[in-house]
């Protein structure tokens, strides 16, 4: 069985810290990212394009943290 047929998915997590303490993290399928790089002349992707082809991963407060630390809600990847 191929990995996709077995339910396995490969994602790249790409984070953009554009303001202090304000991060955006995107999950993009490896196959989609590879296809985008192959189409690009400079082998680069702009943030605007990345937002279109990926999932924005929300930040959540970690229940185990009393100091209010934030983490990423990766459950979204298993539902996609």
Q: What does pLDDT average to in each consecutive run of 10 residues of the chain (80 residues)?
A: 55 76 82 84 77 86 71 76
| pLDDT for the residue numbered 19 | 64
Strand runs labelled E in the chain: 11-19, 22-29, 55-57, 59-61, 70-72
CA 32 – CA 14 distance, rounded (Å):
13
| pLDDT for the residue numbered 21 | 65
Nearest partner of 80 among 40, 28, 31, judged by Cα:
28
């Amino acid at each position: 069985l191929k990995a996709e047929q077995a339910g396995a998915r490969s994602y790249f997590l790409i984070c953009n810290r554009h303001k202090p303490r304000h991060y955006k993290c995107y999950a993009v399928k490896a196959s989609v990212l590879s296809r985008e790089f192959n189409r690009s002349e400079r082998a680069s992707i702009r943030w605007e394009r990345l937002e279109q082809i990926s999932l924005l991963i929300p930040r959540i407060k970690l229940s185990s943290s009393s100091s209010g630390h934030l983490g990423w809600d990766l459950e979204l990847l298993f539902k996609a």
